[in-house]
Structure 1
């Protein structure tokens, strides 16, 4: 399994249109260049997370794309996901590592300066930093940090960093040039009229910004 943060989709199955629509979208965007996929379904019961994981994990495996679970370590263990992405209020990363083992991916959300000094930050395999811009996708998100602050925080950590929060095509190049290893998007793909085309265009913009 290749771990590439370049185009990181946070899959919201409700925004996609439901269970079957999420499966169809997953296949389309994996073929179009999504490089990491995280399932985040806050409105769903855990059993539904698991059933959907059983359907889309093989797609990610075939595409050599990492499949991560948001917050729920028990679901990640049950479906043998490639890792989890944890927030500041979730289990400590040291405990998560004990539960998941040495080979799983551990991501951590960073939304305040103080988070950069925490022990969890040192234990994470990668950091999800943001929201960089205002976002309506996550109702309890912290205030947007802005591009300048993102650039400053990026310089303070050694791990790979994926930027998240209010990112679409117009913001992509600036985020990559500010030091992000990738962009994490939800609505830019899940709510797109053509998710595959949106994925290809975002991927092209990332490559252009790196060049």
Structure 2
């Protein structure tokens, strides 16, 4: 998670960072602070403009937008490349790279790339992953959602194993949920009552 809130006074921002770190730690996450000051932590995300070289911390990322900025990287651990799609959070930000150009920039990057900008659907996430991104960074799609947890979960589907991903996509498409293996369909109606099963080989034959 990246803490922005750059308009806050440093003391308030540092207090917010201190509150967030243990919450994220319980979930196995890391708080990354936007800007060169990690606010008492060990992770920072830097703008493309600098500073260069980056501070020596446990985790350092940088925002990049083109090949020239990627070429300036030194000891960073990862980068975000943006904007991949038109961004509702930043109207006019761009032009959007689209997955094809994203893939070209990923091949130029010496460090892992997170795709950023206008990513709102599992299909867009999948396109970024197929282009070579190790992950995505999302803001508006979750903050605007009526169910932020559900929105975040939906965006993780492309990162799941194929079987799990297929089941969750079926739930999203049909409203049916997966059950344990059966001879027929692996889905049941939301009420839990089984759907009619198709005939199996030899069904109905008497011996």
**Counterpart selection for 1:184 from 137, 141, 144:** 137
String of CA shifts for 1:3-51, please: whole Å, max 9, x gaps. xxxxxxxxxxxxxxxxxxxxxxxxxxxxxxxxxx111123433333212
- Structure number with bigger Rg: 2
TM-score (norm 1): 0.69
Give secondary structure in 2 for the equivalent of 1:69: strand
Q: Secondary structure at the match of 2:63?
A: strand
Separation (CA, whole Å) in 1 of partners of 2:92 and 2:11: 24
In the superposition, relative to structure 1, how do residues 132 and 138 fare at CA in structure 2: closer, same or farther (>3 Å)?
same
Bigger drift between 199-208 and 57-66 goes to 199-208
| 2-structure distance, mates of 1:108, 1:127 | 5
Where in structure 2 are there 5+ consecutive unaligned residues? 166-207
2:163 is equivalent to residue 163 of structure 1: no
Which of structures 1 and 2 has the larger relative contact order (alpha carbons within 8 angstroms, sep 6+)?
1
CA distance in 1, matches of 2:140, 2:68: 28
Corresponding residue for residue 136 of structure 1: 88
| Unaligned 5+ runs, structure 1 | 1-36
Check whether the contact 1:111–1:142 (CA below 8 A) recurs between aligned residues: no
Shift of 1:112: 1.8
Which of residues 54, 63, 80 in structure 2 aligns to 1:109?
63
Paired residue total: 162
Task: Name 1:79's counterpart in structure 2.
Answer: 40
CA RMSD of aligned residues (A): 2.1
In the superposition, the TM-score normalised over structure 2's length comes to 0.71
